[in-house]
A = this chain, B = another copy of it.
Amino acid sequence: MKKVFAYIVALSFFNVAYAQEKSPVSVTMNKVKLEFMVDQAGQPAYALFYNQKPALKKSFLGFSLADDSTFYKGFKLIGTAKKQVDENWKPVWGEVSTIRNHYEELTVHLQQQSGLQRKLDIIFRVFEDGVGFRYEFPKQENLNYFIVTDEHTEFTLTGDHKSFWIPGDYDSNEYIYTTSKISGIDNQPVVNAATDIAVRTAPDRYSVQTPLMLKSDDGLYINIHEAALLNYPAMQLHADRGTYKLTASLVPDAVGNKAYLNAPCHTPWRTIILSDKATDILSSKLILNLNDPSLIENTSWIKPMKFVGVWWEMQIGKSTWSYAKNRDDKDADGKLIPSGLHGANTQNVKRYIDFAAKNNIQAVLVEGWNTGWEDWFGNWKENVFDFVTPYPDFDIKGISDYAAAKGIKMIMHNETSGSATNYERQLDTAYRLMNKYGYPAVKTGYVGKIIPRGEHHDGQWMVQHYARVAQKAADHLVMLDAHEPNRPTGLQRTYPNWMASESGRGNEYNAFSTGNPPAHETILPFTRLMGGPMDYTPGIFKLKGYAPGNAGRQLHTTLAKQLALYVTLYSPLQMAADLPENYEAHPDAFQFISDVAVDWDDTKILEAEPGDYLTIARKAKGTGDWFLGAITNENRRTTSLNLNFLEKGKSYDATIYMDAPNADWKTNPEAYQLKKMKVTSSTKLNLKLAAGGGAALSIKLSK
């Protein structure tokens, strides 16, 4: 009874407030309508409609500043401006070759009516598939340098929607997703259970991360995130479980402030993508469109690629990052005594190079190549790595020469252990080393508590750090794959060399923890990947018994699903994560990984439901060949494919990599079968996906 009463009160308040106002300003783009209003207390607010039905109820806007805790009221609307944009642009790489940017923009000019009479603008861009808005602080006499202590942006849901969330953690996105109603959000048990995550900081138990995927009872899909996050902390959302109101919650800095700004300036875009079709959420380009064009003029050196790596073997405990067992294992000369388990030794690296060269894999990543791994983690230690000194058994020159002779590129690894200050001091020497030995890409890592101490992975200082690293990499013509940064917000448009991030729970958790549940990869595209490519590291073929001393450990997918992930989880840097010997045991299946593209002319989201299933077809850039991936969650499933996206009148050779009839993620994950057939645009196929299964198709133009 209490709950119902609360609901009625909220509703009537909403109506009364509306009545007190002048008519709201509104903008409509097809099914999406935005209304903006200022209430009698001078509080700016907005509401969203989809297909004439409320999508977000009246939601207030504004800030607390260090010198004005009520910078969210007392405003008067002093002007508005509108403009329309409809343009096309071409990303350097991506899921499609051309992107349409079509929106109507509303700018509202607000000014406080008392005190310092400060001005605040809010810019709304209304797209066919949602809305982005950001705050702009105009140049003005009474607002120069200032500190944001809180952002009060609201997203007031119309009901107790189903939501796919991870805890609002300042330092990690590497959680399993929870599916619950808004009223059921409580991250505390999730955080407490997540002992496999290195650093957790989640002080608000009712806070969740974005991208937050929501689905209303009447079938409206809503995705809330942000775009172009620079010079500002990441936004998390505090959920009011009674009113279904989500409020921005910014990640604080070491002293509890949120952002240090200097007018004129603006916040990142707050984004709401709306559709009654789940597939539209995945094909939305709203977030990319809200990011700035490339800051890098010459992008010819930026090349999507696949890679293998000396990495999974350390994750599963077969070899080690470190050279000695511990830092005190030293001989009389003070030299480290090798444990014999060091993965990044020259001979082993050459084995990966040989495998890559034979199998159409362009690059090799090597972790654990540089000194410092004996005591790199968990000590909040500042000077962990120097990023230039190889272990004695890693012949950096010999390896580079060997790789170059075989046409293979090396990917550098720079783990920081969270010590960003140390990394910033070494950036020049680190990137000069990459240039010297011809490494075209770097994988960074931030496993550990951040230094500057008190800062967080997702706070303003680190947001700027990641961008500084991307810029430094660009200066040195190096592509970047960042692990453990804040989650992406479409900055790959602005820094196209920042090809991928991890920023989520990757395949690695299957190596060292209880892993990722079968539904995980059906949720990721609706959440983590909304902001940009994820280096998920798919492609595990040995799905059980891979972890020495841990016979029960297994992945929660079939082998065919691992292949499908190359299509369903987009990244222009895509790893084939398993060991060469495991691939060599299944050369027919590995053929798909050899063949699959990492850059695309077109993408068709054929079917999708978060948490359940996903089927995507993509057209490889510049070839006319298509690749298709279909995955399911823990439930087996038959999917009906209509290949009408293929070019009419053309004939294609399809290879179908599918679960064997008796395949099952739990009992029989490695059972797969191949089927080759001719297909055309009129072909229809039924594919049976095992529990935790999937299917992958290569569909090549017949020659």
Q: List the interface of chain A (C-beta within 8 A of B).
A: 139, 144-145, 147, 253-255, 257, 260, 262, 328, 375, 378-382, 421, 424-425, 427-428, 452-455, 461, 464, 468
Instruction: Please indicate the chain B residues that have their CB under 8 angstroms from the CB of A461 in the complex.
Output: 452-453
Q: Contacts of A468 on B, CB cut-off 8 Å? A: 425
Chain B residues with Cβ below 8 Å from A262 are 379, 381
A381 to B145, CA, bound (A): 8
Q: Enumerate 12 A-B pairs (CB-CB under 8 Å) in ascending A order.
A: A145-B375, A145-B381, A147-B380, A253-B453, A254-B254, A254-B455, A255-B454, A260-B380, A260-B381, A425-B427, A453-B454, A453-B461
Whether the Cβ atoms of A421 and B452 lie closer than 8 Å is yes
- A255 to chain B: closest residue by CB: B454
Specify the main secondary structure of chain A where it touches its partner. loop
A632, chain B: closest CB distance, angstroms = 45
In the complex, which residues of chain B have a beta carbon less than 8 angstroms from the beta carbon of A421?
A: 421, 424, 452
| Identical chains in the assembly | 2
- 8 tightest A-B CB contacts, nearest first: A452-B452, A254-B454, A145-B379, A254-B254, A255-B454, A454-B454, A254-B453, A255-B453
Chain B residues positioned under 8 Å from A254 (CB to CB): 254-255, 452-455
Contact B453 A453 (CB under 8 A): no
Other-chain contact of A382, B260, B381, B455 (Cβ < 8 Å): B260
- Which B residues are in CB contact (< 8 Å) with A381? 145, 260, 262
A424's closest neighbor in chain B, by CB?
B425
What B residues does A375 contact at CB under 8 A? 144-145
- CA–CA, A156 and B147, complex, Å: 44
Q: How far is the CB of A254 from chain B (nearest CB, A)?
A: 4
A146 CB, nearest partner CB in chain B, Å = 9
Q: Which residues of B contact A144 (CB under 8 A)?
A: 375, 379
If A253-B454, A452-B452, A452-B461 are given as contacts, then 4 extra A-B residue pairs at C-beta distance below 8 Å, sorted by A number, are: A254-B454, A262-B379, A421-B452, A428-B428
Minimum distance in angstroms from A659 CB to a CB of chain B? 48
> Chain B contacts of A425 at CB under 8 A?
424-425, 427, 468
Distance of A455 Cα from B254 Cα, bound (Å): 9
Residues of B within 8 A of A455 (CB): 254, 452-453
Q: Which residues of B contact A145 (CB under 8 A)?
A: 375, 378-381
Residue on B nearest A139 in the bound complex, by CB: B328
CA distance A443 to B453 in the complex (A): 28
Separation of A381 and B461 alpha carbons in the complex (Å)? 12
CA distance A380 to B255 in the complex (A): 12
Contacts of A147 in B (CB 8 A): 380
Q: How long is the Cα–Cα vector from A453 to B233 in the complex, in angstroms?
A: 15
**Chain B: which residue is nearest A147 at the CB level?**
B380
What is the CB-to-nearest-CB distance from A431 to chain B, in angstroms, rounded to a whole number? Answer: 12
What is the bound-complex CA distance between A428 and B380, given in angstroms?
26
Among A257, A328, A421, A468, chain B packs the most CB atoms within 10 A around the CB of: A421
Chain B positions within 8 Å of A255 at CB level: 254, 453-454
Question: Which of A139, A254, A424, A461 has the most CB atoms of chain B within a 10 A radius of its CB?
Answer: A254
CA separation between A255 and B452, bound complex, in Å? 10
Give the complex CA separation of A260 and B378 in angstroms.
Answer: 12
Distance between Cα atoms of A375 and B380 in the complex (Å):
34
A92 to chain B, nearest CB (A): 27
Chain B residues with CB under 8 A of A424: 421, 424-425
Our pick among B379, B380, B453 for the contact of A452 (Cβ within 8 Å) is B453
Q: How far does the alpha carbon of A378 sit from the alpha carbon of B375 in the complex, in Å?
A: 39
Q: How far is the CB of A119 from chain B (nearest CB, A)?
A: 16
The smallest C-beta distance from A230 to any residue of chain B, in angstroms, reads 13
Cα of A454 to Cα of B144 in the assembled complex, Å: 22
Chain B residues near A452: list those with CB within 8 A: 254, 421, 452-455, 461
Most buried by B among A260, A381, A453: A453
Closest to A452 in B: B452
**Interfacial chain B residues near A464, Cβ < 8 Å:** 382
Q: How far is the CB of A152 from chain B (nearest CB, A)?
A: 23
- A379 proximity list for chain B (CB < 8 A): 144-145, 260, 262
Q: How distant is the Cα of A455 from the Cα of B375 in the complex, in angstroms?
A: 25
* Closest-CB distance, A139 to chain B (whole angstroms): 8
Distance between Cα atoms of A382 and B424 in the complex (Å): 14
Tell me, rounded to whole Å, the shortest Cβ–Cβ distance linking A466 to chain B.
Answer: 14
CB distance from A138 to the nearest CB of B (A): 13
A379 to B424 alpha-carbon distance, docked (Å): 23
Q: In whole Å, how far is A471's beta carbon from the nearest beta carbon of chain B?
A: 11
- Chain B residue numbers with a CB within 8 Å of A139 are 328
Give CA–CA (A257, B382) in the complex, Å.
15
CA distance A257 to B451 in the complex (A): 13
- Residues of B near A328 (CB, < 8 A) are 139
A452 CA to B260 CA in the complex, in Å? 13
- Closest-by-CB residue of B relative to A429 is B428
Closest to A256 in B: B454
